[in-house]
Structure 1
Amino acid sequence: MKVSDVMREPSPVKLTKHEHACVAFEKEGASFVIDPGSFSPNAARIISGADAILLTHEHFDHVNAAAINAALAERPDLRVYAPAALGDMFAAHAGQFTAVAAGDELAVAGFTVTVHGTTHALIHADIPLVANVGYLIDGTVYHPGDAYFVPDASVGTLLLPTSGPWLKIGEAADYVRLVRPDHVVQIHEMLLSEIGLNIASMLLGEKGLTGIPLTAVPAGESLTL
């Protein structure tokens, strides 16, 4: 082995933000997508470019079941990773489904993914809680799904939900303070108007309550991490 191989810099990661909570990760020609849901009109196209699909929980805005099942039928090599509660949704392709839970470590499309958390944030006492996991990608980028679970790990980039029936801005700010990432990328923002987006960015960004830079990435655009 050459010294140059040992000292080689990590490959850059391309993060593409899609609608709502859907994000795709790509490096060295391999990719996976998290939470391609029903708010993404191009969910089938997004999935078609992925080697794997990771789902945080069962709600329709995070899971486009029809598009995912169609892709599984077309591509026997495609894999879905999600909490066990989603197994029935993909029962026709059980061999392509892997149940995950907190503490798991996965090798997905050349990435290392660790699994954190157990439960969706409370919406209302009358609405049953569902399983929800967060994914830490290559030890640096964290997607929490619909929960403000603080992983027992340092986080470089936090994908921060900023709208939803379970969420208020003050809790989002406190969550960023607890996680203490280097950088925040806004996700789960589809319920906000343009004014709401601007207010969220102002309150949750570097000059607001958190002191940490926040980036709002338009759907379909990418960052290099």
Structure 2
Amino acid sequence: MKLTTLTKHGHACVRLEKDGSTLVIDPGGLTEESAVEGADAVLITHEHFDHLEVKRLAALASGVQIWTCAAVAAQLEGLSVKVNVVGEGDAFTAAGFEIGVAGREHAKVWPEMPLVQNVGFLIDGEVFHPGDAFTVPGSPVGTLLTPTGGPWMKAAEMLDYLKAVNPTRAFSIHDGLYNEVGLSLVDGLLDRSAQAQGGDFRRLKPGESVVIGG
């Protein structure tokens, strides 16, 4: 993977920049509007408000393209930007990034609540954003954007997922529902688990960036 700047934005959104191109994932309702400024391509994992804000996507420049699952694409009909439908096993290029798709459904929230479509994205064979699911890609993951909180997960599932993927490094996402006390608790759990696996865990604050690859 070429040198890539990864910037954490609010809740589940990240921004990847490489060779002058910008890819944004899941700029939802808990994410600051600046996250999509200058985006060349946008990926949406699923339809929940904290990952998808239609109004914001409607304001994107006409040359921007969106890649997402069929359920989200149906909600984006009529937008001036091009919307591409992808599913598990697909591969495509967006804004100069090579992307593979893994996963089909959102993790279970409650047995009586229907599951929605959810696709995870593996970027340049290095960075994996699972959306709201515990999808384990079929290839090694260097950098896992690991969900850390929500009505669909328990702490034990969070730790089991980190262990199953076994990344070299992990950064926290889906953490916008925590206060500082909750974030500190989760940080401690994930840090100990990552160290036990020989990996590294960090929680980036909104707006904080790291450089990966090279």
TM-score (norm. length: structure 2) = 0.94
Indicate yes or no: 2:210 matched with 1:219: no
Is contact 1:103-1:115 (8 Å) kept?
A: yes
Residue 76 in 1 paired to residue 62 in 2? yes
Aligned match of 1:54: 43
Q: Number of paired residues?
A: 211
Distance in 1 between residues matched to 2:136 and 2:9, nearest whole Å = 24
Measure, in 2, the Cα distance between the counterparts of 1:53 and 1:189. Answer: 20
1:64 Cα offset (Å): 1.3
- Provide, for residues 6-45 of structure 1, a one-character-per-residue CA deviation record: whole Å limited to 9, x for no partner: xxxx5310000000000000001001100000001x32x3
Contact 2:63 2:81 (C-alpha < 8 Å) held by counterparts: no
Mapped pair 1:142 → 2:128:
yes
1:111, 1:138 within 8 Å by CA — same for their partners in 2? yes
In structure 1, stretches of 5+ residues that fail to align are: 1-9
Give distance in 1, aligned partners of 2:75 and 2:64: 15
The counterpart of 1:16, out of the listed 7, 32, 45, is 7
| 1:65 maps onto 2:54 in alignment | yes
Identity of aligned residues (%): 41
Q: Is the 8 A contact 2:194 2:200 kept in 1?
A: no
- Larger helix percent: 1
Tell me which residue corresponds to 2:82. Answer: 96
Q: Secondary structure at the match of 1:14?
A: strand
Distance in 2 (alpha carbons) for counterparts of 1:90 and 1:191: 26
| Paired residue secondary structure (1:148) | coil
SS in structure 2 of the partner of residue 223 of structure 1: strand
The answer on 1:38 being equivalent to 2:38 is no
Cα distance, 1:209 vs structure 2? 7.9
Deviation, structure 1 residue 206 = 3.8
Mapping of residues 185-204 of structure 1, within 5 Å: 185-204=171-190
Residue number in structure 2 paired with 1:157: 143
Change (3 A) 1:207 1:134: closer
1:23 is matched by which residue type in structure 2? V
Q: CA RMSD in A?
A: 1.5
CA distance in structure 2 between the aligned counterparts of 1:208 and 1:133, rounded to whole angstroms: 25
